[in-house]
Structure 1
Amino acid sequence: MVRAACHCGAVRIILEPAPAWVLDCNCSICRRYGVLWAYRSDPIGKTELSVELVQGEDAVEAYIWGDRWIGFWRCKACGCVTHHTALDQPSTIRAVNARMFVNFDPASVILHRSDNAHTGAFWTRPDAPIRQGGQPPMDPPGPDDWR
């Protein structure tokens, strides 16, 4: 099971099993959101993920654009983009933003890139060693911690 939550914790999602891959899409909106998508229906790994919004149904709002086919859902309080749905099935989560995953090792999934901008340009790439962050360390998360 994988837990996902927005920054403030108002929106919480559970996925099962853990995804085998995530998608980096460079279209105009995904690039701006900085999302990596874990899809419910997995044509690459041939699995179906169980995805459940366990908290925050009333804490999200959708941004709808273009052909009005997809709604990008974000927390009304902290603004995090948590998931997207097809508008003909708004209660069925199509994909979860993997950057919302809690206590998840990104090295455990394959990163696929989809060139929907038709530029060949992506921000995700291993160009340099990982740098130590400047934020003070936090206490280890407990079993009910969704940060």
Structure 2
Amino acid sequence: MNWTIAASITGPLLALVGVVAAALIGRAHGRKQAEAAISQAAATIRQAETADWAAYSSELRKDRDEAHRQVRTMQGDIRQLSIRVDAAEKRSESAEKRSTVAEERADAADTRYRAAAAYIQQLFEWLSHRVPGESPPPPPPELAGHL
């Protein structure tokens, strides 16, 4: 074999090896770039998801804090209303007691009034029998219809 034949065979053979090696190297490099791009995209997605989650969590915390604030406000309002209701119940009980006492006094006064009116009628009858010809003085206008 001479050098010209060897060179004519080895030249294209080396070119073939170079093309195959370049393809393999390019493929490996392309795969690395694709994997890097996928990894970068995944990281970007994770960051976006993390940011979305952080925003969502922040909104939830704000809503929860606002709900707690409203509950505390309502609890304070309920305590104040409870105090007012208790005071109103005490005033109502006191008024009921005073009303009961007033009714008892009114009943007792009415009973005494009727007894006094009956007694005065008996006195007029007794006086009219004891002192004939004399008439008693007229009753006051407030008692005119009751005697």
Scaled by the length of structure 1, the TM-score of the pair is 0.14
What is the TM-score of this pair, normalised by structure 2? 0.14
Give the structure with the larger helix fraction. 2
Question: Whose strand fraction is larger, Structure 1's or Structure 2's?
Answer: 1
